[in-house]
Amino acid sequence: METLNYLNNGHGLKSWLLTKDHKRIALLYLVSITVFFVIGGFFAMLVRLELLTPAGDLLTSETYNKMFTMHGVVMVFFFLIPSIPAVLGNFLIPIMVGAKDLAFPRINLLSWYIYVLGGVFTLVAALGGGVDTGWTFYTPYSTAAANGHVITAALGVFITGFSSILTGLNFIVTIHRMRAPGLTWFRLPLFVWSHYATSLIMILGTPVIAITVLLVAAERGLHLGIFDPALGGDPILFQHLFWFYSHPAVYIMILPAMGVVSEIVQAFTRKNIFGYSFVAFSSLAIAIIGFLVWGHHLFVSGQSVYSGMIFSFLSFCVAIPSAIKVFNWTATIFKGSVCLDSPMLYAFGFIGLFTIGGLTGLFLAAMGLDIHVHDTYFVVAHFHYIMVGGAIMGYLGGLHYWWPKISGRRYSEPWAKFSALLVFTGFNLTFFPQFIAGYLGMPRRYHAYPPEFQVLNVASTLGASILTVGYVIPLIYFAYSLFAGEKSVNDPWGARGLEWEIPSPPPTENFTVSPVVTEGTHQYVHPNQEVGLA
Amino acid sequence: MRDAHSEHFPGPIHQPPLASNVDAIQPHDHEELPHHPKLQHHFDDMAQQVEASTLGMWVFLVTEIMFFGGLFTAYLVYRYINPEGFAEASHHLNVTWGAVNTIVLIVSSLTMALAVRSAQISAPPKTQVAWIGATMLLGATFLGVKAIEYYDKFTHHLVPGPNFHWEGKHPAPAEMFYSLYFCMTGLHAIHMVIGLGIMTVIGFMAWRRTFDADYYTPVEVAGLYWHFVDIVWIFLFPLLYLIGGHFTE
């Protein structure tokens, strides 16, 4: 007789589509963002295939523009932003704070439906002819000139924004009000801290992008003149409003991944994090400073040199809390008893790739150098190192780490290690050549390029193919583990934290007896004590 | 390898000498108390539920400030660029209608506060519904006045787009002003309509004797939203209607 848990407590489609259980909603998100990841990946593969040869032969320039636009819109708004918060955060935050559910379970379910509705709008725009504005919807092109379904896509982004806002709101209230007795702020897992910082960005930034894309839709559909130069409107205002959200949005993607890495690094070195409060506050620092750097996207848009200098300085400042995290993870690993299980491989991948992505970000924050590499593949490579090398590595690492808890099953560890190495290799082969191509002057967003860039582009496309295989393999062994995987114990990794105290998979209400916490939730024994026990 | 870990590092509950960060044996103090019928299953007690709901609404209002903030920023930038054009355009708005609507909304905030108060002191459902009804009536009056104003702008060709027509010196900034006018007041009006929907539900709940001194969070939270929408108008009124005072022919 199987024990009752959240997976077998209620069967049938209705028990899933009307569920208010945060764990089931997390799985609804998991399935839907995976669908969007596959769609976004399909667009990316078409882009990479076109770039295999210098001539624009596979796609017309218009189709190519639509492909990279849809790739960006789908990956940013429908995969990366919800990925870790809506799946792992949704599943784990109530458990990590010792609660039975998020503060507003119905709003949690609503946010998933809003996400799906926004996704439907975007897919309608994609299938109905696509959008070719780039994911940034820059005016006046998007309002006055662009072909295609700009209004539908903009409304899709607008609607999905509310899903993100509601998730952030739910997390903030949950972390403030639902913590178990004794679970003070400085006993919280760092995963919770990073999600708190992420939620701040979600609630402060997302409404601004919502009103901005709504104005673009209104200007296009109702002929209002907010960004129209003919009426004295300023397209640069759009860029300011857009990047006020969209730069912090990068931190929505990376901060949760940093939370995941903080957890994994502790679990697989058997050590408490080095400098807990520095790591916790660096998340908040990234969230706050992140709101003050958007102008570095406008260095060549006619922004005054003086604003440029201030934005440049503030952008450099983000490097400080980011470096604190990297140094503290490294210090945690130092002299730890490191276990190279698959989640740890992803965490190592994250630390390396994020460091490269972050340091190249400093190149772009420097005004003089940015003029040289602006709108080249250097920028493309930089943000993919952060978003794919950082955010997706963190997402996959977290998914591997908590999969036994989520599914109650073990996946194949050898395959997991193999695919982690494949993802790391494929990723670097895809994006490192783009740094070189960009530095040598290859502009982004063109379907044809001078022949001297072909070697770099062939390498990049080859890397993308390896990366694809690396992403497909986990899909297979995760699915396989659901049916044939070995059953997992409560704490398969020997990790610490409330989520590892309860059964795998957890019961519907998480805790049969509400926990009372008496010290930090991640107290690892000193590695030397292990010897004495064995 | 992994199994070895779980042997060496069992959960803190099972092996107290290793670590005892979680003490699962102690039950909650609150569980002895009888549950309020409105207490949702995932909250420990009513106090926690009330705190969560009000904090949730405050956080939501923060998102609303940022939402309107985008429009206010656009207004600020364009008025800074075209102060005279904006003053000229604002001159064509009807200050009397705007002032009437401002008073209507401020009074509706008062009736809203009284509706919350009547629930807090367990006033009879009739009293609660009366204050909620009065609030809704004032809200509907506001929307009625707004509709008259919109109709007026429509007949005078002041709606931006191909039919926009402007006699004055600054036609382009005027069209920009009216673009912002319709966006800002339109978004505000949508919030009023949503507010009326919320108040309908709250009024119905009050009629069903839902609220008393022990349970009035929904009225209170709806009140927060209502006051917020009022405050937005308090900013819109001077920015849109009163800057016309700077205009000289």
**Number of neighbouring beta carbons within 10 Å of residue A333:** 19
- The pLDDT value recorded for residue B1 is 34
User: Is B9 close to A172, i.e. CB distance below 8 A?
Assistant: no
- The pLDDT value recorded for residue B33 is 56
Q: A218 to chain B: which residues are within 8 Å by CB?
A: 183
- The pLDDT value recorded for residue A192 is 97
**SS3 readout for A59-122:** CCHHHHHHHHHHHHHHHHHHHHHHHHHHHHHHHHHHHHCCCCCCCCHHHHHHHHHHHHHHHHHH
Which residues neighbour A217 within 8 Å (Cβ) at sequence distance 6 or greater?
A: A150, A151, A154, A155, A158
3-state helix, strand, coil split of chain B in percent (to 5) is 70, 0, 25
Q: A492 to chain B: which residues are within 8 Å by CB?
A: 2, 6
Residues across chain B = 249
- State whether residue A516 is helix, strand or coil: strand
Angle of CA points A262, A265, A267, to nearest 5°: 105
ipTM over 0.90 threshold: yes
Give one DSSP letter per residue of A374-438, joined into a string: TTBHHHHHHHHHHIIIIIIHHHHHHHHHHHHHHHSB---HHHHHHHHHHHHHHHHHHHHHHHHHH
Q: How far is A104 from chain B (nearest CA, A)?
A: 8
User: Is A224 close to B182, i.e. CB distance below 8 A?
Assistant: yes
**Number of neighbouring beta carbons within 10 Å of residue A302:** 10
User: Is B179 close to A225, i.e. CB distance below 8 A?
Assistant: yes
Q: A208 to chain B: which residues are within 8 Å by CB?
A: 66-67, 69-70
- The pLDDT value recorded for residue A164 is 97
Q: Which of A22, A173, A341 to mutate to test the interface with B (most CBs of B within 10 A)?
A: A173
* Token reading at A373: 């590499």
In terms of CA atoms, which chain A residue is nearest residue B3? A492
Count of helix runs (H) and strand runs (E) in chain A: 18, 1
Structural domains of chain B in order of their starting residue, each with its CATH number: 58-246 (1.20.120.80)
- The pLDDT value recorded for residue B29 is 47
Q: Which of A164, A276, A516, A517 to mutate to test the interface with B (most CBs of B within 10 A)?
A: A516
Q: What is the pLDDT of residues A240-270, one digit of tens each?
A: 999 999 999 999 999 999 999 999 999 999 9
Option in A101, A341, A514 nearest B28 (CB): A514
In terms of CA atoms, which chain A residue is nearest residue B63? A203
Give one DSSP letter per residue of A207-234, joined into a string: HHHHHHHHHHHHHHHH---SS-GGGT--
Helix ranges restricted to H, A440-491: 454-484
* Token reading at A366: 């420097």
User: Is A490 close to B85, i.e. CB distance below 8 A?
Assistant: no
- The pLDDT value recorded for residue A232 is 80
Q: What is the pLDDT of residues B205-230, one digit of tens each?
A: 999 999 999 999 999 999 999 999 99
Q: B154 to chain A: which residues are within 8 Å by CB?
A: none
Give the residue, B195 or A2, on which the prediction is more confident: B195
Distance from C-alpha of A211 to C-alpha of A78, rounded to nearest angstrom = 18
* C-alpha gyration radius of chain A: 23
* Residue B27 C-alpha from the chain's centroid: 39
The reported pTM is: 0.92
Angle of CA points B68, B74, B78, to nearest 5°: 145
User: Is B11 close to A101, i.e. CB distance below 8 A?
Assistant: no
In terms of CA atoms, which chain B residue is nearest residue A518? B21
Q: How far is B196 from chain A (nearest CA, A)?
A: 20
Angle of CA points A179, A184, A186, to nearest 5°: 125
**Number of neighbouring beta carbons within 10 Å of residue B144:** 12
What is the phi/psi pair of residue A222, to 5°? -110, 5
Q: A520 to chain B: which residues are within 8 Å by CB?
A: 21
Q: How confident is the model at residue B246 (pLDDT cuts 50, 70, 90)?
A: low
Structural domains of chain A in order of their starting residue, each with its CATH number: 23-527 (1.20.210.10)
Helix (H), strand (E) at residue B232: helix B217-240
- The pLDDT value recorded for residue B163 is 87
Give the residue, A207 or B27, on which the prediction is more confident: A207
Q: A102 to chain B: which residues are within 8 Å by CB?
A: 42
Instruction: Find where tokens 């005072």 sit.
Output: B245
- State whether residue B141 is helix, strand or coil: helix
Burial category of B147 from C-beta neighbours within 10 Å (exposed 0-12, middle 13-18, buried 19 and up):
exposed
Q: How far is B229 from chain A (nearest CA, A)?
A: 16
* Token reading at A194: 């990073």
What is the phi/psi pair of residue A108, to 5°? -60, -45
Q: Report, as ranges of residue numbers, the positions in chain A whose pLDDT lies below 50.
A: 1, 526-534
User: Is A224 close to B51, i.e. CB distance below 8 A?
Assistant: no
- State whether residue A487 is helix, strand or coil: strand
Q: Which of A95, A166, A206, A211 to mutate to test the interface with B (most CBs of B within 10 A)?
A: A211
